[in-house]
Structure 1
């Protein structure tokens, strides 16, 4: 008999105001907030988010992991924070130039369990929009510190044009900023550690500049020239579903699923699964129930559901699909099962190979 508590959990998002935010989270994505406020982020799946439906409505994901343990988490540690955070980010203006620490630095200096590797799926981008993604040439800590002081750091910023549908991977230590006019779906390690380097000389509502973290950033930055661009994604079919492999990091995998009006199934692989619809509604069914997802709504399914079924409510729908810390070979196995050429798989996975700093 299926556990009645293993139904699809609709998640109540948390809206976060930001000096660079806009009104799209409310007006376009239907989030419950004040469109007159500058809203920058919708935290879609986060440890303290609450469930909206079913017998567990009102409980947080944190309560779920302690009360349901392995039924929800599989072999993830129920004592630790839910390991990924997913967001929608509306950058009406550019975000600060920033960097995130890796796990070792976060543990040693910040006494936090992990750092922050992240990735972006671009939902929308205005013409001419661009990201800051690394350095345009090799540099050094000494040059970085000098240019921060004399205001010429911008000369070293590498700017990358961006368009909807692209995916970008940002391992910890990557200098970056989301530019104005870009909306992304972000998947990241569960951490809010951000070291701001430059904030475009802005001031907050009190007329004060936001805090910068120039020296901590100096500790964790990768100073090598960046050549990374949009990820070369792989389209494939598995289990009667059209899928696109986007990210295969050791901390999470990200895919885009294309649904039809017929039910299609995928295994949980012993992990809780996160789904967010894009611009069309969908149904999600697992162990003990079915949920209806509005566009840009997030649902979470427990590990011991074993299989999750999805279908478009209309003729088609697209869904972002995230799994928290997966086996190192999980994505490789999916692609092999679909008959993807071995060389293509190797080239795809190489994009996420650990970087060795020099």
Structure 2
């Protein structure tokens, strides 16, 4: 079997908070007209699984490949119901609903789904003075939260933090959150679409009755977890020659890095895990044994676990460095902790990446 970088179709959502930021600020092409709130770049979620657009696997779904070739595609000895990460570009032209995602236990118990959703946001662009609402202020009771949500006084109970391009926010399941307006992000998460919110309207902008609204608030409060306070984080960087590698966040479900490439990057072999790449800069050429693949601005691909000797080469079409977002399911000690300690980072700095246990 000849493996290669795999590109997929992108599913789009036209939620009420969306706009045209993915096209206008990122430069992603071939989007539908009108509101585009999300493009699901790498997805194996139920009927929204991507279809391969290139190479020998063209026309097959990502879910088909995951089921047929789990070791070669995802990683040696990996087994699961679906590809383990879902990745999106999100255009928050308006503020997202105040919402949360259930944890794994709740997803299995209440929704009969294999997992909940921990996620992270990597900020690509914001208007000046942009901020996020995330988590719950300490010491508040459910009654106080319910009253604030009914009054739509979110700042009374949720911390607000300023954000800027380059920040990353790690958001575990059960943590209530929102961002926008005028914010463009890349999001990586567990493969799930479960959520609950506290809003008087739904994601399509339809009004809810008072009973429906209060039921939504109570469902959200039942799933709320106050154990973690997310904060924007600038990441931990290392320089290798002309290239800069930023570890932006990490936890048991995914790690996210931002690569700034002025020179070719040689990706080491890692048969225990695959790698996804999303291009948020100028085009790059991905060279591998047997061929090459261009990754255009706004495009994403999967580098299969079995694919070795991959080189990523910035093109000369435009000035400036190439910029890529790389995601993977880490062996935290091997892939994150040891390399960062070797670069001189402390245990405290590494823990700030998200949910990283250090022995």
Provide the TM-score with structure 1 as the length reference.
Answer: 0.88
The match for 2:15 is 18
CA contact (8 A) 2:9 2:52 kept: yes
Q: CA deviation at 1:44?
A: 0.4
> After alignment, is 272-281 or 22-31 more displaced?
22-31
Q: CA deviation at 1:152?
A: 4.1
Instruction: Return the alpha-carbon distance in structure 2 between the equivalents of residues 266 and 280 of structure 1.
Output: 23
Alignment counterpart, residue 327 of structure 2, candidates 312, 322, 325? 322
Task: Assess, with a 3 A threshold, how the Cα gap between structure 1 residues 222 and 69 changes in structure 2: closer, same or farther.
Answer: closer
Q: CA deviation at 1:150?
A: 4.9
> After alignment, is 154-163 or 294-303 more displaced?
154-163
Instruction: Return the alpha-carbon distance in structure 1 between the equivalents of residues 51 and 203 of structure 2.
Output: 33
User: After superposition, what is the alpha-carbon deviation per residue over 1:229-269, rounded to whole angstroms, capped at 9, x for unaligned?
Assistant: 21241111359742111111110011011212434333335
Instruction: Return the alpha-carbon distance in structure 1 between the equivalents of residues 343 and 243 of structure 2.
Output: 15
Task: Assess, with a 3 A threshold, how the Cα gap between structure 1 residues 269 and 255 changes in structure 2: closer, same or farther.
Answer: farther
Alignment counterpart, residue 348 of structure 1, candidates 347, 350, 355? 350
Please give the root-mean-square deviation of Cα atoms over the aligned residues, in Å: 2.5
SS in 2 for 1:138: coil
Q: CA deviation at 1:283?
A: 1.3
The match for 1:219 is 222
Aligned residues between the structures: 345
Q: CA deviation at 1:77?
A: 4.0
Task: Assess, with a 3 A threshold, how the Cα gap between structure 1 residues 157 and 12 changes in structure 2: closer, same or farther.
Answer: same
The gaps in structure 2 that reach 5 residues or longer are: none
Instruction: Return the alpha-carbon distance in structure 2 between the equivalents of residues 104 and 334 of structure 1.
Output: 32
CA contact (8 A) 1:268 1:308 kept: no
The gaps in structure 1 that reach 5 residues or longer are: none
CA contact (8 A) 2:337 2:350 kept: no
Residues 144-159 of structure 1: matches in 2 within 5 Å?
144-159=145-160
The match for 1:112 is 113
Higher strand share: 1
The match for 1:125 is 126
Task: Assess, with a 3 A threshold, how the Cα gap between structure 1 residues 346 and 33 changes in structure 2: closer, same or farther.
Answer: same
Task: Assess, with a 3 A threshold, how the Cα gap between structure 1 residues 216 and 289 changes in structure 2: closer, same or farther.
Answer: farther
Instruction: Return the alpha-carbon distance in structure 1 between the equivalents of residues 89 and 152 of structure 2.
Output: 31
The match for 2:194 is 193
Instruction: Return the alpha-carbon distance in structure 2 between the equivalents of residues 316 and 260 of structure 1.
Output: 5
Task: Assess, with a 3 A threshold, how the Cα gap between structure 1 residues 203 and 173 changes in structure 2: closer, same or farther.
Answer: closer
The match for 1:208 is 207
SS in 1 for 2:37: strand
Task: Assess, with a 3 A threshold, how the Cα gap between structure 1 residues 134 and 318 changes in structure 2: closer, same or farther.
Answer: same
Alignment counterpart, residue 31 of structure 2, candidates 18, 33, 37? 33
Alignment counterpart, residue 333 of structure 1, candidates 307, 329, 338? 338
User: After superposition, what is the alpha-carbon deviation per residue over 1:290-323, rounded to whole angstroms, capped at 9, x for unaligned?
Assistant: 2101112101111111343212113520110000
SS in 2 for 1:43: strand
The match for 2:51 is 50
Instruction: Return the alpha-carbon distance in structure 2 between the equivalents of residues 263 and 350 of structure 1.
Output: 27
SS in 2 for 1:66: helix
The match for 1:230 is 232
The match for 1:271 is 273
The match for 2:305 is 303
